[in-house]
């Protein structure tokens, strides 16, 4: 194709996109990176959670203003979402948003094999993210900051190491620089963000680098960070947003 994107579904690039998510990285970072990489005209709306006097959390701008409006176009809408102003489409749910951006921006895979690889890795990452969510936010598995910290050994030495072993084996079997092929696809943005979030949390709690024992994964992590198409992203304030929301044990 003559450039460095993983092209699929040759649709015209949208005139303008709007993405919406919380004011932290979380599940918003992959879609923000894709928009920057593709040089798409794009607006990113960030919503803030505020704590009430009795301790519960609310997001008035989202809950009272934007969500009711967007539900008129998509009753399922939640964060994250993307609006395509060329078509009027409003797409929600993180994995659906990533796949949609992959189709319209050219990150979905240029062959059937690449499309299947991209989708499988993307959905594996969602399961991994759910485990991390249950760890870092108050939940049945982390009821307090003390229980969160007590769970970190099992997290880094068990759960994360297990996921990384699978991702390492996938790269070895594929023999490619990225998870679906020779160029970045949708899943690569999500993988990199998950790896970077785990690197940050490991440093904060004095654990070794989780990627250190996985050479292919480590090479991927370092290579992706140096992509020239993402230079402006990593120099922007989006790259230094908190990783998780305000109520998380690790932010």
Say what percent of the chain tops pLDDT 70.
94
Average confidence (pLDDT) over 222-245: 98
| 55-74 pLDDT tens trace | 889 999 999 999 999 999 99
- The predicted pLDDT at position 15 comes to 67
Average confidence (pLDDT) over 94-117: 95
pTM of the model: 0.93
How many angstroms separate the CA atoms of 228 and 242, rounded? Answer: 23
Please calculate the CA angle 18-24-29 and round it to the nearest 5 degrees: 55
| 144-180 pLDDT tens trace | 999 999 999 999 999 999 999 999 999 999 999 999 9
**pLDDT-derived band of residue 13, with 50, 70 and 90 as boundaries?**
low
- The predicted pLDDT at position 3 comes to 46
**pLDDT-derived band of residue 223, with 50, 70 and 90 as boundaries?**
very high
**pLDDT-derived band of residue 141, with 50, 70 and 90 as boundaries?**
confident
């Amino acid at each position: 194709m003559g450039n460095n994107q993983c092209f699929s579904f040759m649709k015209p690039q949208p005139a303008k996109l709007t993405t919406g998510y919380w004011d932290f990285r979380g599940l918003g970072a992959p879609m923000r990176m894709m928009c920057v990489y593709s040089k798409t005209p794009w607006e990113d709306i960030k919503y803030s959670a505020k704590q009430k006097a009795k301790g519960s959390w609310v997001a008035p701008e989202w809950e009272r203003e934007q969500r009711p409006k967007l539900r008129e176009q998509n009753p399922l809408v939640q964060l994250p979402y993307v609006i395509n102003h060329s078509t009027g489409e409003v797409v929600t749910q993180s994995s659906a948003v990533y796949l949609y951006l992959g189709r319209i921006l050219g990150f979905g895979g240029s062959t059937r094999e690449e499309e299947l690889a991209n989708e499988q890795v993307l959905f594996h990452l969602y399961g991994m993210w759910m485990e991390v969510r249950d760890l870092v936010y108050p939940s049945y598995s982390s009821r307090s900051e003390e229980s969160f910290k007590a769970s970190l050994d099992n997290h880094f030495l068990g759960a994360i190491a297990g996921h990384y072993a699978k991702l390492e084996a996938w790269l070895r079997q594929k023999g490619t620089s990225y998870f679906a092929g020779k160029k970045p696809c949708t899943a690569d943005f999500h993988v990199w963000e998950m790896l970077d979030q785990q690197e940050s949390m490991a440093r904060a709690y004095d654990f070794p680098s989780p990627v250190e024992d996985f050479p292919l994964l480590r090479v991927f992590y370092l290579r992706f960070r140096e992509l020239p198409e993402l230079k402006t992203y990593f120099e922007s304030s989006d790259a230094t947003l908190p990783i998780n929301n305000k109520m998380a044990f690790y932010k």
